[in-house]
A = this chain, B = another copy of it.
Amino acid sequence: MSFDTLQKKIWDLANPTVAGLDPRPEHVPPAILEKHLAAKGNTLAAAADAFYEFNCGLIDAFCDLVPAVKPQSAYYELLGWEGVRCLKQTADYAKAKGLYVIADVKRNDIGTTATAYSEAYLGTVTVGGTALAPFDFDAATVNAYLGSDGIVPFVETCVKYDKGIFALVKTSNKSSGELQDMTVSDGRTVYACVGELLEKFSGDTVSPLGYSCVGAVVGATYPAQLTELREKLSHTFFLVPGYGAQGGGAADVAGAFDEKGGGAVINSSRAIMCAWKQTGNGGADYQQAARDEVLRMRDALRSAVKGL
């Protein structure tokens, strides 16, 4: 679904939060993990089953409050193909609960290989004359280092299936500046060049609400750059990681939004998923703890973002 769909969900709930689903065995409440290990032993399949139960419990806890979830693929791939099956099951469950689902996969390649990635996560593959959707996410993250050959195939798939991508522009980590902040010969930064390249490739896909199908990942930990890019990239929907555990707060991300309180979604993962570790109840209240954290974040964002 396009970013218009995501934006409408955000306005309906007055909440621009995307809840990250980034499970590791140590993030899962012990009772859930132990139950599945008892059933299937110390196996990747058992851990994947535990992740799925935990994810469903989290989704149940906050699906009436947040517009979107974002599973980070690395944590599923860490359980091999059984983890990837859990990723697909999680996406299906979240969509059935009405959530917009972003695959945080940061895929990147060229030509027919980029097409294959885009079809895997956002489109279909034809097997013996039948079109099958391998994952069917609403949007996916990508890395634009390879240039337009790596982005155009994703744009084509987005147009065909009414989906979106978020390309890395200025990431939330400390060392993101090593390459992204370098100044090129015309005085622009590398991240600004990437942002402008993305607007160029997607200019003719602008939706009724004003967004192209190519969004940008811009970290909450760099508020000045967020504001700079918001001004330059008027048609670009922003996915903003780095809120919460990485150090970004509501005031830091306010610059990501336009005057209508639109155009951005803010991710928090560990602060929500691991909220149960703060309550001293050993995980028994993980759903209530996650819901309470979602409400805290929502209210902080409502206070900081004008027009929401």
Contact = CB atoms under 8 A, between A and B. Distances in A.
Interface of A: 22, 24-25, 33, 37, 41-44, 46-47, 72, 74-75, 77-85, 87-88, 106-114, 116-117, 119-121, 125-130, 132, 134-135, 143-150, 168, 171-180, 182-185, 190, 193-194, 197
A169 to B, nearest CB: 10
16 contacts: A24-B112, A25-B127, A41-B128, A42-B129, A43-B127, A78-B116, A78-B120, A78-B134, A80-B135, A81-B81, A81-B85, A106-B107, A145-B145, A149-B176, A182-B185, A183-B184
Given A74-B114, A106-B108, A111-B173, 11 more contacts: A44-B127, A44-B134, A72-B109, A77-B116, A80-B84, A147-B177, A148-B178, A149-B175, A150-B175, A179-B193, A182-B184
A18 to B, nearest CB: 16
A134 B79 contact: yes
A170 to B, nearest CB: 10
A116 B24 contact: yes
A23 to B, nearest CB: 10
Nearest to A174: B149
A173 B150 contact: yes
B84 A145 contact: no
Contact of A197 (B114, B149, B178): B178
Contact of A84 (B25, B81, B173, B177): B81
Q: Which of A81, A176, A185, A194 has the most CB of B within 10 A?
A: A81
Contact of A127 (B42, B114, B121, B128): B42
A74 to B, nearest CB: 4
A286 to B, nearest CB: 19
A29 to B, nearest CB: 14
A44 B119 CA distance: 13
Contacts of A87: 81
Nearest to A146: B171
A109 B114 CA distance: 18
A134 B77 contact: yes
Contacts of A22: 113
